[in-house]
Amino acid sequence: MQRDALSVLQHVFGYHDFRGEQRAIIDNLIDGDDALVLMPTGGGKSLCYQIPSLVREGVGVVVSPLIALMQDQVSALNALGVRAAFLNSTLSAEQSQSLQQQVRNGELDLLYVAPERLIQPRTLELLHQSPLALFAIDEAHCVSQWGHDFRSDYLQLSLLHREFPKVPRIALTATADPRTRTEIAERLDLTGARHYVSSFDRPNIQYRIERKDGARKQLLRLLRAEHAGEAGIVYCLSRNKVDQTAQWLTDQ
């Protein structure tokens, strides 16, 4: 039985309602149309392809550049009861074969795969043998040769439109100025896709710069005066400095 986007949002992911343009993006994809989404980190990009993958028939194929990111997402989805898996170099030959059979049988909702794995002939053959709901290209700014996150394998992802012309695609990023958005659309053959651009204004985030004068004492004063009892992250320039700072904070 086909599921409704709102019921999936509420009963699978536990959210009461959509935020911003999530609903419009999700409906666009469910209807079989392409989309290019620019949304800040924490804005809910993942739901924009996860929910359509659960609503549409077939498996949603998610292109992700980082193995650790794939594993985190799959673990979180599995905990919610979503049939998700990743296909990458961490799997044994036996595990990979078993997973591929699940994909062919339509037994998965979401499949995460690295771009270099996706463009391999054997992977494309697998996908041609499988029911597909959509393609989601995460971290789409990796296709831009202007950026420091450029990945050459992303340049070949335009083949998805050629190989699977009836399968909707969505490209997502939190990092793209107008020039980069144009480049993403052109390089991924998404020039006909609808663009959804959300504001980067994050009123809960502030930047503050202070002259360093006894860095450890400044850090301790900041934590005690402004963030007592709260959790946070302290970044350092090296692993050794992290260890030293963590030990010092623990001693305090």
At residue 87, the 3 state secondary structure works out as: strand
CA 61 to chain centre: 12
Task: Report strand pairing: 35-38 vs 194-197.
Answer: parallel
Beta-bridge partners for 172: 37
pTM for this one? 0.81
User: Stretch 71-95: mean pLDDT, rounded?
Assistant: 92
pLDDT at 41: 81
| Residues across the chain | 252
Start and end residues for every CATH 3.40.50.300 domain found in the chain? 5-197
At residue 173, the 3 state secondary structure works out as: strand
Distance between CA atoms of residues 139 and 34, nearest Å? 16
Nearest 5°: CA angle at 36, between 158 and 31?
95
Share of the chain above pLDDT 90, in %: 73
Sheet containing 132-137: order of strands: 84-87, 110-113, 59-63, 132-137, 169-173, 35-38, 194-197
In tens, the pLDDT along 221-249 reads 999 999 999 999 999 999 999 999 999 99
In tens, the pLDDT along 157-205 reads 999 999 999 999 999 998 788 888 899 999 999 999 999 998 766 777 7
Confidence class for position 148, pLDDT limits 50, 70, 90: low
In tens, the pLDDT along 131-144 reads 999 999 999 988 88
pLDDT at 1: 42
108 neighbors 85 (Cβ within 8 angstroms): yes
Give 90: exposed, middle or buried? Use CB within 10 Å, 0-12, 13-18, 19+.
Answer: exposed
Structural tokens at position 5: 């986007």
**What's the CATH superfamily of 5-197?**
P-loop containing nucleotide triphosphate hydrolases (3.40.50.300)
At residue 42, the 3 state secondary structure works out as: coil
In tens, the pLDDT along 29-57 reads 999 999 999 998 888 999 999 999 999 99
Q: What is the mean pLDDT of the chain?
A: 91
